[in-house]
Structure 1
Amino acid sequence: MVVCAPARYLVFFQYFGTKYSGVMETSSDQSLIGVQNYLEKAVQNLKPVAPVKFHISSRTDTGVHALCNSAHLDIQRAPGKPAFEEKQLVHGLNRHLKPEPIRILNAHRVPSTFHARFSALSRTYIYRLLMGCSHHSEIPVFERDLCWAPGGGYLNVPAMQEAAQFLVGTHDFSTFRSLGSETPFQSPIRTVFQVDIQPSSGFLSHHYEHRGLEFWELKFRSRSFLYRQALLDQTLRPMLLYSTTLSFLRA
């Protein structure tokens, strides 16, 4: 019987990252493991002929969430079985991801030359700030692990917006990365396309408007970022909601 060649798919997925070590695969004996571990366990339940690897476009760290990350994978089915239809793959993966807070959003059949990481045109990270809380215990329960609530007064937004524009363009971001987080051979030069600071809304925030809380989003978009590049203070990273990774990919 004729054996069909593997079919390559681009999948978009999201996850609530609090309980994971990040998106990348880790050894199974760690206390926190990666989102990729669960994705690859789910796809093995679809009975591929060979083990399947998710090639993820964008890395996220421990505790960071993703509205939309992406990856490509190759699936070879048993002889005589056709390649998965796109919706069939989405439903099958989501069925086997339960009860994890990880969901496949959609899937697209792509050529074998496509690569999720190297075909990505840009990536966007969004930091959410909550102002108006004098203590972390005042953060609404529905916003737990989804924002950072610094103490003190309110933001000087015009000054922040003016300063943020100095990050736009092509720069050496050596001073914005953790010590020892990179090999000495990787260039620290990166191009930031966009920095926005805008008011936002909280989950069900209209029910506690009387508290005078303010939500803000700080959005950074670039073709790529350095590993552990901290465009804001490093203490923000474990606390931010939707350090969102969005990939816009070439056809």
Structure 2
Amino acid sequence: MGSAAPAAGSLRARYLVYFQYRGTDFNGVVAVRGAQRAVGAVGVQNFLEEAAERLNPVVPIKFTISSRTDAGVHALSNAAHMDVQRRADQLPLSPEVMTKALNTHLKHPAIRVLQTFRVPGDFHARHAATSRTYLYRLATGCPTYNQLSVFERDRCWALRAERLRFWNMEFESQSFLYRQVRRMTAVLVAVGLGALTPAQVKAILESRDPMGWSQTCMAPAQGLFLKSVLYGSLAEWNPASTQEENQGFQGQGSHRSNQRLEARA
């Protein structure tokens, strides 16, 4: 998102905001505008921007989201940048005060701001990201969805198998293709269940068919979490790693896939 010149008599400060959310109640992270909003669809960004407007900025505040997530997908830590313009007689808010203020004004309990940084005026939350990590959670050994613990519903993909066991799969890359993680997960699960062989997976990849099996079948949204978005010198600090929510995701059978695929339009 390009930034307009500061309004006359105002000072502009750009912030990088890390935030988390439980995606069950949202139509994705991106704001819903116009007619869709009128019929009840809402994005996480809508609530973030409404909270930011309570700061009484000179011009409306818009969040530029680092990583888009679909309806039902969660985030242990997503990121966005925003420009805040205040009157010339008002100093920019400190990152600590900004974090507290946004959390105070957030009107949905499934969203929380983790931490805020002051960044240069040309910083871009999406383009500057050096690494994104997604986590997909599977539960095996659950005959029916209703037998899954109420604390795990809408937070994993429940599959039938011999015994109850939780599996974590992590995928890290600078960027991802549209729904790539859900498609890769579906293929891996199909191999595990015997519906696909490794040779068939190889053939799928080599076919490059946009309507192939991996393009039309994908894992459900509720098992997917955006775990972290990292930025150069900030890469050593992972907001999600310090959160209690992340502690419950250290299950057995962890599989890590290091992808180096550039997203294309």
1 or 2, which has the higher helix percentage?
Answer: 2
Deviation string, structure 1 residues 120-175 (Cα, Å, up to 9, x no partner)? 0111111101111111111001111011111244xxxxxxxxxxxxxxxxxxxxxx
3-state SS in 1 of match to 2:102? helix
Distance 1:98 1:31 in 2: 15
TM-score between the two structures when normalised by the length of structure 1: 0.72
Cα offset, 1:235, TM superposition: 4.5
Distance 1:215 1:81 in 2: 51
**Aligned residue in 2 for 1:227:** 178
Classify 1:150/1:235 alpha carbon distance in 2 versus 1 (closer, same or farther; 3 Å).
farther
Distance 2:39 2:167 in 1: 34
1:68 aligns with 2:92: no
Distance 2:220 2:59 in 1: 37
State the number of aligned residues: 191
Unpaired runs of 5+ residues, structure 2, are 1-7, 187-216, 234-265
Cα offset, 1:245, TM superposition: 4.2
**Aligned residue in 2 for 1:250:** 232
1:236 aligns with 2:189: no
Query: Could you tell me which of 110, 117, 123 is aligned with 1:114?
Result: 123
Cα offset, 1:65, TM superposition: 0.4
Distance 1:235 1:145 in 2: 16
Contact persistence 2:11–2:87 (CA under 8 A) = no
Cα offset, 1:26, TM superposition: 1.0
Unpaired runs of 5+ residues, structure 1, are 154-211
Query: Could you tell me which of 191, 215, 219 is aligned with 2:166?
Result: 215
Q: Percent identity?
A: 45
3-state SS in 1 of match to 2:48? helix
**Aligned residue in 2 for 1:202:** none
* Structure 1 residue identity aligned to 2:149: P
Cα offset, 1:78, TM superposition: 2.1
3-state SS in 1 of match to 2:151? helix
Once the two structures are superposed, the pairs formed by residues 32-51 of structure 1 within 5 Å of their partners are 32-51=41-60
Contact persistence 1:58–1:245 (CA under 8 A) = no
Cα offset, 1:243, TM superposition: 1.8
Deviation string, structure 1 residues 24-80 (Cα, Å, up to 9, x no partner)? 111222432110111111100110000111011101000000000001100001231
> Considering only aligned residues, what root-mean-square deviation do their CA atoms show, in Å?
1.6
1:14 aligns with 2:20: yes
Distance 2:184 2:39 in 1: 28
Cα offset, 1:236, TM superposition: 2.1
* Structure 1 residue identity aligned to 2:18: F
**Aligned residue in 2 for 1:184:** none
3-state SS in 2 of match to 1:42? helix
Distance 1:101 1:138 in 2: 24
Distance 2:39 2:227 in 1: 24
